[in-house]
Structure 1
Amino acid sequence: MPDRLEVRIGEYGSALLAESQLTPRDVNRLRALQTHGRLGLEQTPAGWRLKAGATVGLLVLDRIRLVMEPKFAISGDRLMGWLAYALGAPAPLPVTSRHWATDPEGYADLVATALLEQCERLLREGLRRDYVRRQNLEPVLRGRLDFVAQTTGRYGQLDKLHTHTFDRETDIWDNRVLATALQVARALTTSPELARDLHTIADAFPKAPPADAALRALDRTRYTRLNGRYRPAHTWARLLLRGGGVTDILSDHGMVADGLLLAMPALWEAVVRRLVTDAAVPHGGHAVPSNGAAGITVRGDLGSTSAFRPDVLLNLPDRDLKGHMLLPVDAKYKRYDRHGVAATDVHQLLTYSAGYTSGNDRRALIVHPSTGGHSYRILTVDSPRGCLGNVHVLGIDTQTLPQEAAAWVGSVLQSPNG
Structure 2
Amino acid sequence: MPDHRPEVRLGEYESTELGTDQLTAGDVTRLHALQARGCLSLTAGRTGWRLKAEATVGVLVLDRVRLVVEPKFAIRGEQLMTWLAYALHTPVPATARRWSTGPDGYADLVAAALLEECEMLLRAGLRRDYVRRQSLEPVLRGRLDFAAQATRRFGQLDQLHVRTFDRESDIWDNRVLGVALRAALSQTTDSRLARALHGIADAFPHSGTPAAALRALQRTQYTRLNARYRPAHTWARLLLVGGGVTDLLTDHGTTAGGLLLAMPMLWEAVVRRLAAEAATPRGGRPVPGHGASGITVRGDLGKTSTFRPDLLLSFPRPDTDAPVLLPVDAKYKRYDRHGVSAGDIHQLLTYSAGYTPADAPSAVIVHPQPGGHARRTLRIGTSQRSLGVVHVLGIDTHARPEQASAWMRTALPSPP
Deviation of 1:306 after TM superposition, in Å, equals: 1.9
Does the CA-based 8 Å contact 1:146-1:162 persist in structure 2? yes
Cα deviations by residue, 1:180-228 (Å, 9 ceiling, x for unpaired): 1001112111222211111111111113422112112212222233222
Count of matched residue pairs: 412
Does the CA-based 8 Å contact 1:74-1:100 persist in structure 2? no
Structure 1 residue identity aligned to 2:31: L
**What is aligned with 2:107?**
108
**What is aligned with 1:64?**
65
**What is aligned with 1:371?**
370
Equivalent position SS for 1:237: helix
**What is aligned with 1:49?**
50
Q: 1:134 to 1:358 in 2, by over 3 A?
A: closer
Equivalent position SS for 1:390: strand
**What is aligned with 2:406?**
407
**What is aligned with 1:303?**
302
Q: 1:283 and 1:347 mapped to 2: Cα distance?
A: 28
**What is aligned with 1:37?**
38
Alignment of 1:11-410 (within 5 A): 11-72=12-73, 74-93=75-94, 96-101=95-100, 103-246=102-245, 247-252=247-252, 256-317=255-316, 321-322=318-319, 324-410=323-409
Structure 2 residue identity aligned to 1:391: V
Gaps of 5+ in 1: none
Q: 1:160 to 1:248 in 2, by over 3 A?
A: same
Deviation of 1:281 after TM superposition, in Å, equals: 0.1
Q: 1:378 to 1:289 in 2, by over 3 A?
A: same
Does the CA-based 8 Å contact 2:296-2:305 persist in structure 1? yes
Does the CA-based 8 Å contact 1:76-1:110 persist in structure 2? no
Q: 2:33 and 2:129 mapped to 1: Cα distance?
A: 40
Q: 1:122 and 1:231 mapped to 2: Cα distance?
A: 11
Q: 1:102 to 1:124 in 2, by over 3 A?
A: closer
Comparing 33-42 and 392-401, the one that deviates more? 33-42
Q: 2:34 and 2:7 mapped to 1: Cα distance?
A: 19
Structure 1 residue identity aligned to 2:16: A
Cα deviations by residue, 1:137-165 (Å, 9 ceiling, x for unpaired): 32322222334444454454433333222
Cα deviations by residue, 1:248-294 (Å, 9 ceiling, x for unpaired): 310227x6231111111111111111110110001211122221222
Cα deviations by residue, 1:346-391 (Å, 9 ceiling, x for unpaired): 1211222222223442221110001111011111223031322221
Q: 2:414 and 2:225 mapped to 1: Cα distance?
A: 45
Does the CA-based 8 Å contact 1:92-1:110 persist in structure 2? no
Does the CA-based 8 Å contact 1:363-1:392 persist in structure 2? yes
Does the CA-based 8 Å contact 1:181-1:240 persist in structure 2? yes
Equivalent position SS for 1:314: strand
Q: 1:102 to 1:152 in 2, by over 3 A?
A: closer
Does the CA-based 8 Å contact 2:70-2:77 persist in structure 1? no
Structure 2 residue identity aligned to 1:38: C
Comparing 393-402 and 4-13, the one that deviates more? 4-13
Q: 2:78 and 2:175 mapped to 1: Cα distance?
A: 28
Q: 1:136 and 1:304 mapped to 2: Cα distance?
A: 54
Cα deviations by residue, 1:102-138 (Å, 9 ceiling, x for unpaired): 5422111111122112111211221111222223332
Comparing 112-121 and 132-141, the one that deviates more? 132-141
Q: 1:207 to 1:317 in 2, by over 3 A?
A: closer
Give the aligned CA root-mean-square deviation in angstroms.
2.2
Q: 1:245 to 1:383 in 2, by over 3 A?
A: same
Gaps of 5+ in 2: none
Comparing 360-369 and 222-231, the one that deviates more? 222-231
Does the CA-based 8 Å contact 2:102-2:108 persist in structure 1? no
Q: 1:298 and 1:151 mapped to 2: Cα distance?
A: 65
Q: 1:104 and 1:28 mapped to 2: Cα distance?
A: 25
Comparing 3-12 and 295-304, the one that deviates more? 295-304
Does the CA-based 8 Å contact 2:75-2:398 persist in structure 1? yes
**What is aligned with 1:4?**
5
Structure 2 residue identity aligned to 1:295: G
Q: 1:191 and 1:262 mapped to 2: Cα distance?
A: 20
Q: 1:27 to 1:197 in 2, by over 3 A?
A: same
Structure 1 residue identity aligned to 2:392: V
Structure 2 residue identity aligned to 1:8: R
Equivalent position SS for 2:324: strand
Q: 1:223 to 1:102 in 2, by over 3 A?
A: closer
Structure 1 residue identity aligned to 2:25: P
Q: 1:288 to 1:159 in 2, by over 3 A?
A: closer
Equivalent position SS for 2:17: strand
Structure 1 residue identity aligned to 2:250: L
Equivalent position SS for 1:350: helix
Q: 1:370 and 1:413 mapped to 2: Cα distance?
A: 16
Q: 1:142 to 1:103 in 2, by over 3 A?
A: closer
Q: 1:51 to 1:140 in 2, by over 3 A?
A: same
Cα deviations by residue, 1:57-93 (Å, 9 ceiling, x for unpaired): 1111121111112232644452112111111122211
Q: 2:157 and 2:228 mapped to 1: Cα distance?
A: 45
